[in-house]
């Protein structure tokens, strides 16, 4: 299971002044999860986009596209689902992230029982 945390300061991203980096006013977190059933026979990959502790949109490999969780997430999901290269990348991550990492960590986890 992979996780990434990214702190954002929208005023800096837009070239403005105001908030100082790291003040904690804005936080975006991307949380990627690999769920395995029967080894790598059945793999589900979920990427959650969380902004200020609220999940707005997520990608679910079982659905194959981004799904909105809030009204704001509807706009984001619609935009991201229109990006065919992004959808292809997320769909491929079932193999490139989940199945790959399963093979890397299995000798240290599952086989040590």
Structural domain of residue 61, as residue ranges? 27-112
Query: How many domains does the chain divide into?
Result: 1
**In whole angstroms, what is the distance from residue 60 CA to residue 49 CA?**
12
Residue 98 lies in a domain: yes
Contact 90, 32 (CB under 8 A): no
Residue 13 lies in a domain: no
What is the average per-residue pLDDT within 50-68? Answer: 96
CATH number for 79 = 3.10.320.10
Half-sphere exposure of 90 (CA within 13 A, CB side): 24
Instruction: Please give the C-alpha separations between residue 41 and each of 36, 38, 44, 48, 99, in angstroms, as whole numbers.
Output: 8, 6, 10, 23, 9
Q: Tell whether 92 is covered by a domain.
A: yes
Give domain status of residue 17, yes or no. no
pLDDT, tens only, 22-36: 556 788 999 999 999
* pTM for the predicted model, two decimal places: 0.71
22: three-class secondary structure by DSSP? coil
């Amino acid at each position: 299971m992979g996780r990434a945390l990214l702190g954002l300061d929208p005023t800096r991203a837009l070239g403005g002044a105001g908030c100082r980096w790291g003040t904690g006013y804005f936080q975006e977190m991307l949380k990627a999860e690999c769920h395995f059933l029967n080894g790598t026979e059945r793999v589900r990959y979920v990427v959650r986009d969380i902004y200020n502790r609220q999940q707005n949109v997520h990608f679910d490999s079982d659905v194959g596209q981004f799904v909105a969780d809030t009204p704001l997430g509807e706009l984001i999901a619609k935009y991201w689902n229109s990006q065919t290269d992004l959808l292809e990348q997320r769909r491929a991550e079932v193999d490139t992230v989940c199945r790959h990492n399963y093979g890397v960590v299995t000798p240290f986890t599952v086989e040590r029982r």
